[in-house]
Amino acid sequence: MTTTVADLYPTRGSSETVTPRVDPVVWSEPGAPGPMRPSELSDFDRDGFLAIEELITPDEVAVYRAELDRLISDPGVRADERSIIEPKSQDVRSVFEVHRISEVFANLVRDPRVVGRARQILGSDVYVHQSRINVKPGFGASGFYWHSDFETWHAEDGLPNMRTVSVSIALTENYDTNGGLMIMPGSHRTFLGCAGATPKDNYKKSLQMQDAGTPSDEALTKLADAHGIKLFTGKAGSATWFDCNCMHGSGDNITPYPRSNVFIVFNSVENTAVEPFAAPVRRPEFIGARDFTPVR
Ligand SMILES: O=C(O)CCC(=O)C(=O)O
Ligand SMILES: [Fe+2]
């Protein structure tokens, strides 16, 4: 693989490696205008995440929920390559690029409460690297094993620096039982390079179950011992902002209650994707965008 951009975060080699983060977490100057207070930005910097109790109102939640239901019951959407199906139940697990499939979700991305926070954290204009709904229906939806998103986005999509942030917005209540997001606070400061080369069609399998890019039990134990594990709960309309290098995951949902969250990944326009750092081919654009048009 030839790339002119330095690889600051080696991964997918013969052994697991630990590299300290060299990038800032909050990229804007102190006092930069936006919806986040200075104390919220410093909490985000320290923990790697920030929970918002009510990012969108109950009335707005109803609109997004209805749109989610419309999407997952539309046979065309279900058959689209951007929909990922649960292997066991054959339910829709994820729908990618929802901001392109749906005008309703496109509006959510443009909402100043959403994109404004992303700009403030990343200190620049931003574009959407990825968007997805993780439906997590009740009665057996499978979880997402521990991972750092940046590890994948660096290895497989070619994002050079840690200048990317995600927001997970709850469209159903996230209880402590229905497969909510878990993050190890402070883990965003350490980059865990994973062992093992990336297979050519890795993304197809990894969207159903993660394999390459998976940390070892030993590394996860060390990180959890050092940082602890925080579970995010909240009403529909609540949100969690989290840094691209947080160690995070979620368990299965065996309750009757769906845990359906929309995830939007914003990347800085100053950190656009190059060639993958540790994969033979780029992933499809519905998973890792190559259109770097800023959100307006
Ligand atoms: O939906 C979840 O619980 C976690 C999803 C996640 O980590 C991801 O989509 O990268
Ligand atoms: Fe993730």
pLDDT value for 209: 57
Q: Of 209, 239, 226, which Cα lies nearest the Cα of 85?
A: 209
Query: What letter would DSSP give residue 295?
Result: P
- Reduced to 3 states (helix: H, G, I; strand: E, B; else coil), residue 155 is helix
Q: What CATH number is given to the structural domain containing 193?
A: 2.60.120.620
Out of 144, 174, 206, 240, give the residue to mutate to test ligand 1, the one with the largest number of ligand atoms within 8 Å of its CB: 144
In angstroms, rounded to a whole number, what is the distance separating the alpha carbons of residues 261 and 234? 11
pLDDT value for 203: 75
Q: Are 167 and 263 in contact (CB under 8 A)?
A: yes
* Mean pLDDT score, 134-145: 94
Residue with tokens 């995440």: 49
User: Does residue 243's CB lie within 6 angstroms of at least one atom of ligand 1?
Assistant: no
pLDDT value for 210: 55
Residue 27 domain flag: no
Residue 284 domain flag: no
Domain enclosing residue 206, as ranges: 49-268
* Mean pLDDT score, 221-241: 98
Residue 286 domain flag: no
In angstroms, rounded to a whole number, what is the distance separating the alpha carbons of residues 144 and 139? 16
Residue nearest to atom 5 of ligand 1 (CA): 144
User: Does residue 250's CB lie within 6 angstroms of at least one atom of ligand 1?
Assistant: yes
Q: H-helix or E-strand containing 66?
A: helix 58-73
DSSP letters spanning 193-256: EPBSPPPTTHHHHHTTS-BTBPPPHHHHHHHHHHH--EE--B-TT-EEEEETT-EEEE--B-SS
pLDDT in tens, 148-197: 999 999 999 999 999 999 999 999 999 999 999 999 999 999 999 999 98
Beta strands in the chain (DSSP E): 17-20, 49-52, 83-85, 92-96, 126-134, 144-148, 164-170, 181-183, 190-193, 230-231, 239-243, 247-250, 261-268
pLDDT in tens, 187-200: 999 999 999 988 88
pLDDT in tens, 1-13: 555 799 999 999 9
The rounded Å distance from CA 151 to ligand 2 centre is: 10
In angstroms, rounded to a whole number, what is the distance separating the alpha carbons of residues 135 and 91? 9
- The total number of structural domains in the chain stands at 1
pLDDT in tens, 244-289: 999 999 999 999 999 999 999 999 999 999 999 999 999 999 999 9
Total length of the chain = 296
Measured from the Cα of 250, ligand 1's closest atom is 3
Q: Which amino acid is at 175?
A: Y
Residue 261 domain flag: yes
Query: What letter would DSSP give residue 187?
Result: G
User: Does residue 93's CB lie within 6 angstroms of at least one atom of ligand 1?
Assistant: no
- Reduced to 3 states (helix: H, G, I; strand: E, B; else coil), residue 83 is strand
Residue 216 domain flag: yes
Does the pTM surpass 0.85? The reply is yes
Query: What letter would DSSP give residue 188?
Result: G
Query: What letter would DSSP give residue 53?
Result: S
Range with lowest mean pLDDT among 132-136, 210-214, 243-247, 291-295: 210-214
Q: Of 109, 242, 126, 142, which Cα lies nearest the Cα of 183?
A: 242
User: Does residue 146's CB lie within 6 angstroms of at least one atom of ligand 1?
Assistant: no
Q: Of 278, 287, 268, which Cα lies nearest the Cα of 17?
A: 278
pLDDT value for 207: 62
pLDDT value for 88: 82
Residue 227 domain flag: yes
Q: Are 69 and 262 in contact (CB under 8 A)?
A: no
User: How many CB atoms sit inside 10 A of residue 156's CB?
Assistant: 26
pLDDT in tens, 57-110: 999 999 999 999 999 999 999 999 999 998 888 889 999 999 999 999 999 999
- Strand order from edge to edge, sheet including 92-96: 49-52, 239-243, 164-170, 261-268, 126-134, 92-96, 83-85
Residue 285 domain flag: no
Residue 110 domain flag: yes
Q: Are 239 and 180 in contact (CB under 8 A)?
A: no
User: Does residue 263's CB lie within 6 angstroms of at least one atom of ligand 1?
Assistant: yes
